[in-house]
Amino acid sequence: MNFAAQSTAPTSLPRLIVVTGRPGTGKTTLSKALAAELVACYLRIDAVETALQVALADFGIGDLGPMDVGDVGDVGPAGYVVAHRLAASNLELGHDVVVDAVCPVPESRQGWMDTAAAAGAQLIIFETHLSDTAEHRRRVTERRPDMPGQRVPTWDQVTAGEWVVWDVERDGDRHLVDTSDAADAVASALTTITT
């Protein structure tokens, strides 16, 4: 077989699909389902940040200094910077990428716009939300860490945490997805992605 004669150029732009929203609104559930359905790379900011926090604690390096893994610190924008580079590397190979990230402030949202533009990718952003506050609270309070060293926020931390309301002029387009029903949320997001 003559591999040199085969075209390796992608037939369409790779897609950077970013699933944003407050903790406990179904980002991870939706992101994992989309990545599986689309056979896309999956990047989870919680995993990147937890790995950075644990590494800093284990090696006692960086601005955080020595610390107990039970009290991991905030790594600031480092998790997003790492995820931007990982996403870009995969997009440049022509792979679709699904990102699971809170993106609470305009700077975090701009980072994904910049990543998509630099990699020549199509950017699709979803913001997850729950209209039922009691259900949101239940999800947050019942959530447990799903990886070593991960700390999950309390309800008070979620409600008091920084969250800048989305502004289309500043933050670009995004599709609001109600995640009250996971299957409906996945179907809605897939319809948006494929049309």
Mean pLDDT of each 10-residue bin along the chain, 195 residues long? 41 92 96 98 95 82 44 74 97 98 96 98 98 95 89 91 94 97 97 93
pLDDT at residue 111, as a whole number: 97
Q: Which CATH superfamily is domain 13-194 in?
A: P-loop containing nucleotide triphosphate hydrolases (3.40.50.300)
Residue 108, pLDDT score: 95
pLDDT at 62: 54
Amino acid 71: pLDDT: 42
Output the pLDDT for position 61: 61
Per-residue pLDDT at 73? 57
pLDDT of residue 78: 87
Residue 187 has phi, psi (to 5 degrees) of -60, -45
For strand 122-129 and strand 175-178, is the pairing parallel, antiparallel, or unpaired?
Answer: parallel
